[in-house]
Structure 1
Amino acid sequence: MRARVSHIAARLSAATGGNEVARTELPGGAVRLDVVIPADISSAGRYVVLAALADADGYGHGRTESEERVWATIDPGTSHDPYQSNRSPRPDDRRLPRQPDR
């Protein structure tokens, strides 16, 4: 989990021009990351922020008159794989029955 937290925090910081990413330990061992989004962030920077948030277990966005910020939560014991729900079972993957395409 520490590697995931560090990786997401580094990506958020880089995407926001080096802004500090605040880290808060939550009950149950989860971690929350918060970062201020600069008003002049590029489209590419916004894309990197969204990609980093997609790797978290939860995320959100807030805006006030003075700032815009995003947060991400990373839960212990999860190995978030954003593609897991979309993957097709391999022929040797017999743990789950194949679902029909809809």
Structure 2
Amino acid sequence: MRSTRAFALAGRLALAAGSRARVRRRPGGGGYRVEASLADDLGEDAHRAVLAALAEADRYGHQYSNAAHLVWAEIDDDSEEPPR
């Protein structure tokens, strides 16, 4: 089952970050992980939009390396709303 919440978050995160967001099923079927790369020159408005998108997740974080800045967000299966 695809998570509408995870894919909606991915769309908002991609738009805010100006990059492609990747959605993957977490190991063991425990929800979804959304990841997006951030540009070094991310503007103030874009930074706020990224933070607002991340706030919708159950967990989120930032990975920094010499090669890239990456933000991630996780959505748990049990936090999904049932279909209507």
> TM-score w.r.t. structure 1 length?
0.70
SS of the equivalent of 1:23 reads strand
Q: Which residue of 1 aligns with 2:21?
A: 21
SS of the equivalent of 1:66 reads coil
Unaligned runs of 5+ in 1: 81-102
Q: Which residue of 2 aligns with 1:40?
A: 41
Q: Distance in 1 between matches of 2:22 and 2:79?
A: 21
Q: Distance in 2 between matches of 1:74 and 1:54?
A: 11
Matched to 1:28, the amino acid is G
Q: Distance in 2 between matches of 1:37 and 1:60?
A: 13
User: Which is strand-richer, 1 or 2?
Assistant: 2
Q: Distance in 1 between matches of 2:44 and 2:67?
A: 20
Query: What is the aligned residue count?
Result: 79
Unaligned runs of 5+ in 2: none
- Pick the structure with greater CA Rg: 1
SS of the equivalent of 2:50 reads helix
Give the aligned CA root-mean-square deviation in angstroms.
1.7
Q: Distance in 2 between matches of 1:37 and 1:68?
A: 5
Q: Report deviation, 1:79.
A: 5.1
Q: Report deviation, 1:22.
A: 1.4
Equivalent residues in 2 for 1:86-101, closer than 5 Å:
none
Q: Which residue of 1 aligns with 2:75?
A: 74
Matched to 2:37, the amino acid is V
Q: Name segments (4+ residues, structure 1) moved above 3 Å.
A: none
Q: Which residue of 2 aligns with 1:52?
A: 53
Q: Report deviation, 1:41.
A: 1.0
